[in-house]
Amino acid sequence: DAGVIQSPRHEVTEMGQEVTLRCKPISGHDYLFWYRQTMMRGLELLIYFNNNVPIDDSGMPEDRFSAKMPNASFSTLKIQPSEPRDSAVYFCASKPGPLDGNQPQHFGDGTRLSIL
């Protein structure tokens, strides 16, 4: 089975540039999550979607961050303009809907983002 697929795996860009991270969830999963991992703050939930609709974006740090899910198989996390403090590993995760019980989240391999 294909897992959660993220692209790119690595991104290095200069501050002020727009960054777009992409995620393809596991087919049939109704929930999609975006996390950020840093040494200082650990794993933080940024936003999650249910059936393509954003449910909780309280973890999105600033207006520079935005996330979309135009269809069930694709989501983007965009940072515009990017800043050096946005450097982190960004993970996408997905899980099935509640009809399958409270199933755990499955994570992608992450995008390692470096803003110079």
Partner 1 sequence: GEDVEQSLFLSVREGDSSVINCTYTDSSSTYLYWYKQEPGAGLQLLTYIFSNMDMKQDQRLTVLLNKKDKHLSLRIADTQTGDSAIYFCAETNILTGGGNKLTFGTGTQLKVEL
Alpha carbons 21 and 5: distance in angstroms, whole number = 11
Q: How many residues bind partner 1 (CB under 8 A)?
A: 23
Nearer to partner 1, 48 or 65 (CB): 48
Pairing of strands 31-38, 42-50: antiparallel
Site string for partner 1, 66-95 (x = CB under 8 A): -------------------------x-x-x
Is residue 12 involved in binding partner 1 (CB under 8 A)?
no
Sign of CA dihedral 64, 90, 34, 77: positive
Taking CB under 8 A as the rule, does residue 15 contact partner 1?
A: no
The binding site for partner 1 (CB under 8 A) comprises: 4, 31, 33, 42-43, 45, 48, 50, 55-56, 91, 93, 95, 98, 102, 104-110, 112
